[in-house]
A and B are shown apart, each in its own frame.
Chain A
Amino acid sequence: MSRIGVFVCHCGENISRTVDVERVAAEVGKLPGVAFSTDYKYMCSDPGQGLIKKAIREQRISHVVVAACSPRMHEKTFRKAVEAAGLNPFLCEMANIREHCSWVHEDREEATVKAIEIVGMMVERVKKNRVLPTITVPVTKRSLVIGGGIAGIQAALDIADAGHEVVLVEREPSIGGHMAQLSETFPTLDCSQCIMTPKMVDVANHPRIKLYTYSEVEHVEGFIGNFQVTVRKKARSVNEDKCTGCGVCMEKCPIRKIPNKFDCNLGTRPAIYVPFPQAVPNTPVIDRENCTKFKTGKCGLCQKVCGPGAIDYEQEDRLIVEPVGAIVVATGFDLYSITEKPKGSAIKGYGEFGHGKIPDVIDGLTFERLASASGPTGGKILRPSDGREPKQIVFIQCVGSRAREKGISYCSKICCMYTAKHTMLYHHKVHDGQAYVFFMDARTPGKNYDEFWRRSIEEEEAVYIRGMVSRLYQKGNKIVVMGSDIAVGVQVEIEADMVVLATAVQPRIGADSLAQKLGISYDKYNFYSEAHAKLRPVECATAGIYLAGVCQGPKDIPDAVSQASAAAAKVMTLFAKDQLEREPIVARVREASCVGCFACKKVCAYGAVEEKEIRDRQGNLIKVVAYVNPGVCAGCGTCQATCPSKSVELDGYTDEQMVAMIEAL
């Protein structure tokens, strides 16, 4: 007979406000098998855990139910406490009476009754819990970093500097990400290239970083400590070992009019190109869609002029399998495109702002390229339409962001600051120009941020107009911007030469399909979800996968770098151990009843089910049964639900346990 101890937590007032915890403890105490029940203000605190340990020792408690928050929050905490008192940790279960009860109901009676039932169900379940041994698995002390922007670079450098090998995968031909496109960065106005490119070179030269550019993650298998990642290295058509980066091929390429994506399509590039002069690696890529050789079979000029003979038209995509123990995801963002509405998207677009129709209405990133010394205009602010210097410039904030009815309800966080920066850059370059900013409110928390914003108004003469723009249209070579100044209560009309839209940041297009490969969760905007908003902000719910940068939510460079270093620290923590303990939630086969139909083998997504021969002492084959490799099994339990003879059982979620819960209804 089990002697169950039930511990009901008040969670300060979070539970006790709506649930009568004393009554729950009293009612549950009457259930058969419950030897001890009590309530306490903070069960997770040291005295609370002490209470559990003391009861285990003094009351000879054999099974524990903690009625408190979600097991996703504190299951580990309580299992550890139970283990410290000498019980097997898997004899402890949590009844979720906070997230699933006290927080979602207001009626005290109703919530109390529900809580009693929830705890009752867990009491019946825990009676059937078995002692489970912890499984240890080895850790592969190599890490994969997906994305070579500032976040990915920082994480890769930190992990590599700690002495572990890193595989860095970047989709574009060069690492650098968005930060390489920026001109100067807030709040110090230091040049982005100057602080970014040395880090890029560090990555390329690091003995422990293996860099795959122009590559994508194709497939991920395995689990924490033991992932197998397949990387697709796309055909560059240039042999990286032979290429010296002299650039003759790019000079000679006859195709020259391809819009340069890196310059936000302001400039052009040849068909064989590096995205920007400071690219790492400095190895060109042939854009096969636009190359005459690939389109018609003729030309081949680059091959003729290449001294080292690095051009290889026959090169094919390569699939490389990399074993790693941890994965840092740092895929970054795309800017919300207000002209092209992504397919199937709930986002509605802003036709009224004329983006895509009026050439001098540009987005913030395009302005960065105009202001950048390495940009298409050499750092001069010039209108894309006629190359004239704009004397009146209008910045519109919150385009896309904070507009529920348009599809995005979040704040993009960086726009207030970068628009303030843009007004400064503009003022520095066009001394007789005037900048106007339409804004809802300025959000400038951060060290030296508000001072920076104020400087743009007080010293750099930007005019801030509180209100949104209702319409803009082209009139001659001017753009008329109409809006309202709600602070003064008047309508405003500005004849501008250029309009810059602070469009929202969004996760990379295709972020969801990468999440599906990795088995991590994401929200409705495709931002990746962290395991806990406050206490586990860089970890995914999926063990061994960590997040860095904007792929998790909008953030500026300092935040992205901090998060990247935090993710790296988490990886190092993982790599500090040689063996990793993992939850023993794995399937086991009851060989006596298994008939060897292998239905389980067909449904197992991990290939964990093997065939095992049962022989007698003379060595005669009796039958072939299924065997689940506990090192490979991920513990989903699909095999158990599939098994016709009910011969597979998932430890921790056995039929006995689940049925006991249903019967406690």
Chain B
Amino acid sequence: MAKEKVYMHAEKQKHSFEPKIIAFVCTWCTYAGADLAGTSRMQYPANVRVLKFPCTGRIDPVFILKAFQQGADGVLVSGCHPGDCHYIAGNYHARRRFAAFRKLLEFIGVDLDRLQFSWVSAAEGGKWVEVVTELTERVRAMGPMNEFKELALDEQWSGKLDSPELKEAYNAI
């Protein structure tokens, strides 16, 4: 308990860059843990957007790439502690999958500091706050992640008719 930092009424600072953090969480542990942080009125940075999955086992690594492409500066994947999975073993499958996936990300040049895996149980509202705050601060210090966004644009755009107006029109579709 002493270790748990409670960010109650932390002093608000203005930053030049606010990162976008996307969190893939399981519904049984981490989503409920984040709910508990809410009911306990703990405070944490507003940078995180939560996507609820039934289980971390459902999370396809492609979603992480997709998130980076769509402008996320950091990604959090969080589920039940090992052994506590509501679906018996989904989190173990997730753990293996992401252990392998991290290597791939490293290979293609993604700074792994932008990606965080954690176990947050339904009773760990404080830990959720800690994890989100730490990741936000770390990614904020790293600055925006542009490589994938540009790559995503390249993918969709042949580049031959490259004018800002067309790009804008394309994005609007």
Structural contact, B90 and A662, CB atoms closer than 8 A: no
- Check if B87 is an interface residue, CB within 8 A of chain A: yes
Flag A584-602 by CB within 8 Å of B: 1 or 0 each. 0100000000000000000
Contact between B70 and A636, CB atoms less than 8 A apart: no
User: Which residues in B have their C-beta under 8 angstroms from that of A662?
Assistant: 22, 51, 63, 66-67, 70
- Contact, CB under 8 Å: A541 / B70: no
User: Which residues between 80 and 128 of chain A lie within 8 Å of chain B, taking CB atoms?
Assistant: 96, 98-101, 103-107, 110-111, 113-114, 117-118, 121
A184 to chain B, nearest CB (A): 35
Q: Is B58 an interface residue (CB 8 A)?
A: yes
B119 part of interface (Cβ distance < 8 Å): no
B66: A residues at CB distance < 8 A: 659, 662-663
Answer yes or no: A261 CB below 8 A from chain B CBs. no
- Report the interface size class on chain B: 35 or more
Is A241 engaged at the interface, CB distance under 8 Å to the other chain? no
Contact A519 B123 (CB under 8 A): no
Q: Does B71 contact A (CB under 8 A)?
A: yes
- Evaluate contact between A650 and B122: CB separation under 8 angstroms: no
- CB within 8 A of A653: which of B58, B90, B123? B58
Contact A103 B32 (CB under 8 A): no
Chain B residues with Cβ below 8 Å from A605 are 87-90
Interchain Cβ contacts under 8 Å between A and B, 18 examples: A99-B34, A99-B35, A100-B34, A100-B50, A104-B43, A105-B44, A409-B1, A521-B29, A521-B80, A522-B123, A541-B122, A605-B87, A636-B58, A637-B90, A642-B93, A655-B60, A665-B71, A665-B72
A519 to B129, CA, bound (A): 24
Chain A interfacial residues counted at CB < 8 A: 56
The answer to whether A72 touches B60 (Cβ under 8 A) is no
**Within 8 Å of chain B (Cβ to Cβ): is A524?**
yes
CB contacts (< 8 Å) of B86 on chain A: these are 519, 521, 541-542, 636
Q: Name B124-161 residues within 8 Å CB distance of A.
A: 124, 129
Q: Is the CB of A650 within 8 A of B46?
A: no
- Please indicate the chain B residues that have their CB under 8 angstroms from the CB of A519 in the complex: 85-88
- In the complex, what residues of A have CB within 8 A of residue B57's CB? 603, 636-638, 641
Partner of B54, one of A541, A637, A642: A637
Instruction: Write out, one digit per residue, whether chain A residues 621-665 have a CB within 8 A of any chain B CB (1) or not (0).
Output: 000000000000011111011100000001001010011011101
| CA of A96 to CA of B9, assembled, Å | 22
- Chain A nearest Cβ from B98, distance in angstroms: 11
Whole-angstrom CA separation of A646 from B22 in the bound complex: 23
Chain A positions within 8 Å of B85 at CB level: 519
Q: Which residues of A contact B (CB under 8 A)?
A: 70-72, 96, 98-101, 103-107, 110-111, 113-114, 117-118, 121, 404-405, 407, 409, 515-516, 519, 521-524, 529, 533, 541-542, 585, 603, 605-606, 634-638, 640-642, 650, 653, 655, 658-659, 661-663, 665
Which B residues are CB-close (under 8 A) to A641?
A: 57-61, 93-94, 97
Contacts of B29 in A (CB 8 A): 521
Contact across chains for A515 and B84 when beta carbons are under 8 A apart: yes
Q: With A585-B54, A636-B55, A653-B54 known to touch, is A117 a contact of B38 (CB < 8 Å)?
A: no
User: Would B28 and A541 count as touching, CB distance under 8 A?
Assistant: yes
Interface residues of B in 8-40 (CB under 8 A from A): 9, 12, 20, 22, 27-29, 31-32, 34-35, 37-39
In the bound complex, CA of A655 to CA of B66 (Å): 11
In the complex, chain B residues whose CB is within 8 Å of the CB of A516: 83-84
* Max count, chain A CB within 10 A of own CB: residue among B31, B67, B123: B123
CB of B49 within 8 A of chain A?
A: yes
Q: How far is the CB of B124 from chain A (nearest CB, A)?
A: 7
> Which residues of the partner chain A approach B87 to less than 8 Å between Cβ atoms?
519, 605-606, 634-636, 638
Q: In the complex, A233 Cα to B21 Cα: how many Å?
A: 50
Contact between B22 and A638, CB atoms less than 8 A apart: no
A72-B35, A103-B41, A516-B84 in contact; A524/B123 too (CB < 8 A)?
Answer: yes
Q: Are A521 and B123 in contact (CB under 8 A)?
A: yes
